[in-house]
Amino acid sequence: MPACPSPLDHKQVDQLAALRATLAHARAARGPALPFELPELDERLADHGLDGAGLHEIAAASASFTDDACATLFAAGIAARFCAQPGFTILWAVTRFDLYAPGLEQIGLGPDKILYAQGRKDAEVLALAEDGLRDGSLACVVAEVKAANQTATRRLQLAASDGKTPMLLFRRHRSRERCPLSGLSSAMTRWRIGAAPSSPLPHVGLGRSRWSVELVRQRNGNPFSIELEACDDTGRLALPAAAPDRAIAEGRAARQAA
């Protein structure tokens, strides 16, 4: 005969059920996709945002530490927005723990928002991610791997759909010559992120970081690339302020030439 659950077990079950109900309500209020709240991005995405029950892949534009950091923060900013409400948490699974916690906190992903998991190899990390997705009590799952074939990504996509939980798969570089996104995948979107020159300042110093954001592939939509300012303390991206100024200046110059 199975043992009767203790009062603590009942309490944990009730808390988990309440969390799942809160998550379901938040997802219903948000809609099927999480928008970037940038028309320049959302209007070019087939779902007008990131599918909240789908797999999304992210890779650095190169194997450099700079691009790798940009891609990490891009993923972290999205995860921070998925778990923006109080009490929501994400799972971040890795094979090697090299995340810089203060950097994550600066974009809205504090220590109270993250559950870390570590596997010895990519297969274990993928299994951890799949379990987290199917549980349904997480706001988002992030996993870092160097190898994931189409079967593995198909399993993650199905688990994300079943658990109504977004999956961010960070594809790390295996070699400097080959892009991690070159293989087949079942992902809804595939992003390549790199560093770009920072925002100019009227004085000596560095302005807000900028990223080269390239959507390599999306279901039912076209690829595109755009330069954006890095995440703020809520995980939100921004259109570089210099872009409209440049357009105005170019228009003024054209009128003067005429």
How many angstroms separate the CA atoms of 228 and 74, rounded?
Answer: 11
Confidence (pLDDT) at 110 = 92
Instruction: Name the DSSP class of 2.
Output: P
Confidence (pLDDT) at 198 = 84
Q: Is 198 helix (H, G, I), strand (E, B) or coil?
A: coil
Confidence (pLDDT) at 53 = 95
Confidence (pLDDT) at 21 = 72
Confidence (pLDDT) at 199 = 76
Ranges of residues in the chain with a pLDDT under 70 are 1-8, 12, 16, 19, 23-31, 204-205, 242-258
Phi–psi pair at 44, nearest 5 degrees: -100, 0
For 89-131, the pLDDT digits (tens) are 999 999 998 899 999 999 999 999 999 999 999 999 999 999 9
Contact 126, 144 (CB under 8 A): no
Contact 169, 191 (CB under 8 A): no
How many angstroms separate the CA atoms of 212 and 162, rounded?
Answer: 33
Confidence (pLDDT) at 31 = 61
Torsion sign over Cα 156, 106, 116, 148:
positive
**Model confidence, pTM:** 0.83
How many angstroms separate the CA atoms of 89 and 22, rounded?
Answer: 12
- Which amino acid appears at position 78 of this protein? I
**DSSP characters for 84-118?**
-STT--EEEEESS----HHHHHHTT--GGGEEEEE
Q: Is 36 helix (H, G, I), strand (E, B) or coil?
A: coil
For 214-233, the pLDDT digits (tens) are 999 999 999 999 999 999 99
Centre a 10 Å sphere on the Cβ of residue 8 and count the other Cβ atoms it contains: 8
User: Of 47, 140, 51, 127, which Cα lies nearest the Cα of 91?
Assistant: 140
Confidence (pLDDT) at 33 = 93
Q: What is the dihedral of CA 128, 133, 135, 136, to 10 degrees?
A: 150
How many angstroms separate the CA atoms of 174 and 116, rounded?
Answer: 23
For 199-210, the pLDDT digits (tens) are 777 776 677 799
How many angstroms separate the CA atoms of 78 and 62, rounded?
Answer: 21
Confidence (pLDDT) at 258 = 47
The backbone region for 95, taken as left when phi is positive above 0, alpha when psi lies in -120 to 50, beta otherwise, is: alpha
